[in-house]
Structure 1
Amino acid sequence: MAERADGRPPVIRRVGAGISVAALLAAFAVVLGALFRHPVQLVLAVLLLGGVLGAGWAALVRRGLPAVAAAALGGVAAVLLVLLPGVHAYALLATAAGLAGVSFATARTALGRDLPRPPRICRTGPARSGVLLLNPLSGKGVATASRLGDRARGFGARPVELGLGEDLREVAERAVAGGADVLGMAGGDGCQAVVADVARRHGLPFVCVPAGTRNHFARDLGLDREDPAGALAAFGEAVERRVDLGVVDGRVFVNNVSLGVYAAVVRVPGYREAKVATIARCLPELLGPDARSRLRFPGPDGPPGRAADVVLVSNGPYRLERLSGFGSRERLDGGVLGVVTVVVDRARDVPELVTAELSGNVARFPGYRAWTTSAFTVESADPVVDLAVDGEPLRCAPPLRFHALPGALRVRLPPGAPGASPAAAAPKGVRRAVAALLRVLAGRPARG
């Protein structure tokens, strides 16, 4: 969407801002009206729904009599929810949710690209001898289905498909030895990290082509994850920026390293094919009453000896709404690691954690902590520790030492790429969002 020469947002964005603000006010009006006219039914509907969710998850992570008791309480809450007199409470809640959805959707159009602070970039010419490595197994064959190899040739890049059993790092090193001046990778985040490390070691620019399952790195670089072929344009006339990398015991990661519950689940056979079922099957052992975390690490203030059930160390801090989605990062050039830890009391905290997770407010869970650091060490009483490095399962002997590599990787991006991660493009909190929308409505840029 073209911006006006004077920097003022175009009319369509101002209209979107007006619709977004109006829909948000209408949602609040519906909720307030419902509380005034039907306070008992509405409050009971919310409380009973929370009771069903909390009891269900409490039953999931417990064994024996406590699990039966939790399931029974959840069943009673579900019956009472169904028998709640009248349907107006549900209808009003659904109406408010629908209006909030309209507000969020139009806000994306209204805010445009005003909020992200543009990274430092420089324009660069086409690659002279670019090489694109392809993993045909990543993302259920995205590279093959999208004909990325053939399309890469259109930008002057030589495609190299990873063969069965071949070592990706060795293939990348051979490409460098063969004269590659730009290295690209079409695959998942684990593959991106390996090739990015090779490019970093040789001082070569790197092209990220999202051809995996989640493609978090591509998303936070501002690439369109639904258009892997579009990323190939970075082999032509492109823009270049520097981003950070993270390291754990000598292994580079582009996104994050998980320890604790998530890392243990990733190692379970069949996890990738049936994630929800695997998590449900494993939670009783991982968060049950007999489970005890053996991870130890210094907190943000330095003293050692803390323990946690979930530890997430990331290449740049995430803005997390849910642990399951790993959120998004506002920037990849801050020069620091992000650390998130979650401590769960099995007897009390699981329902509250689940509620916070489902509502997208995991940061409000009492056992949640987050901070940034340039280096981080995790100890454990176990001889080996399960990790998930950019989603790939791994086992390492403790202590695990993490550190950041600020500005270590040169990344080439297509000039027309969106250029901002979801976290950078979205304001923090309702108050800032409304303020940004009001600025657009008044004809000013969203960022004040």
Structure 2
Amino acid sequence: MSARRVVYAVNPSAGRGVPADLGRRLAGGVGGGQLPDLEVVLVTAGSMPELRGRAVAELAHPGGVDALVVMGGDGMVSLGAGLVAGTGAPLGIVPAGTGNDFARGAGIRRDAPAVGIERMLTALRTGDAGVREVDVVRLALDGVEHVALNSVNIGFDAVVNRRANELRRLPGTARYIAALLDSVRSFSPLEFGVSVDGGPTRAVAAELLAILNGSSIGGGIRVAPHAVIDDGALDLVVVGRLSKLGLLTLFPLAMVGLHTRLPAVSFERMRRIRVQVPAGVLVYADGEELRGPDQHACTLDVRVDPGALRLVQPQGPA
């Protein structure tokens, strides 16, 4: 019987010190090592675009692939989803980023990456891994198609995300809170045009719009506490006009679920949304910048693609 073939892609900047060849060492290739029935094809690179290109080439291998496994944070998970969503090939996730918010929503363990990849590869080798069909977020921005799994962030939370990406010395949520403190001083409210599920466009004055498939952003800040990754819907979170003090307390309140009581915060479930984004407003998806501060006004279309991704679920206690 031929060995199962797994493409194992590692974010160039992730892993928390875990060597990039960890999967190869564990698998040892066909006929050797600890996982002799599993052929692991390691894909790594010096940049994300290069990594994507190499992963695409391996996924196009004539022998096919039994799974794509990605190690990294939400941006890496989004890259993996973009490669295999809708193809039937399952995606395995080994969380090794700062936030790991999609992994939280999916109930994937976020312990040491070395433990995570060993658990993942062992489950794939033995056939003990389950598969869960989850929703994918599809975006069109300035004529370019994108895929996300956890969130699309427009406005203040995108500004905080950008600043958090610069504060690489701080861990997890602490980085996000520090970015919040730094960003709130110069932020001004925004005016959007919003159409939900094909309805009329309405004017929305807001500090931010967040479109979520998962429930949290920023390393566990549950801004959409009722969002579920396999319910065929997205959750729109709109934060209306707040004072700077209100903005400053928004995410700390969300960490304990109290933001839902604020009159300025509203929630709406939907399948698709069109947003008229003003000039200069940031748009982020799964922690990665899609639109910078120097760009013109544009239209953003977002829709849910129900059950489009087969997610590997290693067995064992959470």
TM-score bracket for this pair, using the shorter chain length? 0.7 to 0.9
CA distance in 2, matches of 1:243, 1:354: 27
**Which of these residues, 190, 199, 206, is aligned with residue 91 of structure 2?**
206
Could you say which residue in structure 2 is the equivalent of 1:334?
231
Q: Partner residue of 1:438?
A: none
- Structure 2 residue aligned with 1:231, among 120, 133, 150? 120
Q: The residue matched to 1:138 in structure 2 has which SS?
A: coil
User: What TM-score, normalized by structure 1, do the two folds share?
Assistant: 0.57
Match of 1:137 among 2, 10, 13: 13
1:19-418 aligned within 5 A: 128-141=4-17, 143-144=18-19, 147-153=22-28, 154-155=34-35, 156-165=38-47, 166-178=49-61, 179=63, 180-226=65-111, 227-229=115-117, 230-236=119-125, 237=127, 238-249=129-140, 250-268=145-163, 270-274=166-170, 275=175, 276-286=177-187, 291-298=188-195, 304-315=202-213, 318=215, 324-326=221-223, 331-346=228-243, 349-350=246-247, 353=250, 356-357=253-254, 360-382=257-279, 384-395=280-291, 398-416=298-316, 418=318
Q: Is the 8 A contact 2:213 2:228 kept in 1?
A: no
Amino acid at match of 1:248: L
Distance 1:385 1:340 in 2: 17
Per-residue deviation, residues 146-183 of structure 1 (Å, max 9, x unmatched): 93442254441414242113523212211112232321
- CA deviation after TM superposition for structure 1 residue 355, in Å: 7.6
1:245–1:252 contact (8 Å) kept in structure 2: yes
Distance 1:302 1:319, change over 3 A: farther
* Letter of the 2:116 counterpart: P
Q: Is the 2:227–2:234 Cα contact (8 Å) retained in structure 1?
A: no
**1:406-426 CA distance string (max 9 Å, x none):** 0101122223253xxxxxxxx
CA contact (8 A) 2:191 2:205 kept: yes
Contact kept, 8 Å, 1:223 with 1:231, in 2: the verdict is: no
**1:122-161: CA deviations, max 9, x gaps?**
xxxx9721121112411534x4289344225444141424
Other structure's SS at 1:196 match = helix
Cross-structure match for 1:60: none
| Secondary structure in structure 2 of the residue aligned to 1:294 | strand
The alpha carbon displacement at 1:358 in A equals: 6.7
User: Any unmatched runs of 5+ in structure 1?
Assistant: 1-125, 419-448
Structure 2: tracts of 5 or more residues without a match: 29-33
For the aligned residues, what is the CA RMSD?
3.2
Question: Partner of 1:56 in structure 2?
Answer: none
Q: Does the aligned pair in 2 maintain the 1:135–1:186 contact within 8 Å?
A: yes
Q: Give the number of the structure whose residues are more often strand, by fraction.
A: 2
Q: Secondary structure at the match of 1:335?
A: coil
Measured at CA, do residues 282 and 221 of structure 1 come closer, stay the same or move farther in structure 2, by a change above 3 Å? closer
Within 1, Cα distance between the matches of 2:224 and 2:201?
Answer: 28
CA–CA separation in structure 1 for the residues paired with 2:26 and 2:16: 19
Is 2:10–2:20's contact at 8 Å kept on the other side of the alignment?
no
C-alpha distance in 2, partners of 1:132/1:303?
43
CA contact (8 A) 1:127 1:235 kept: no
Identical amino acids, percent of aligned pairs: 27
Deviation at 1:379, TM superposition (A): 0.6
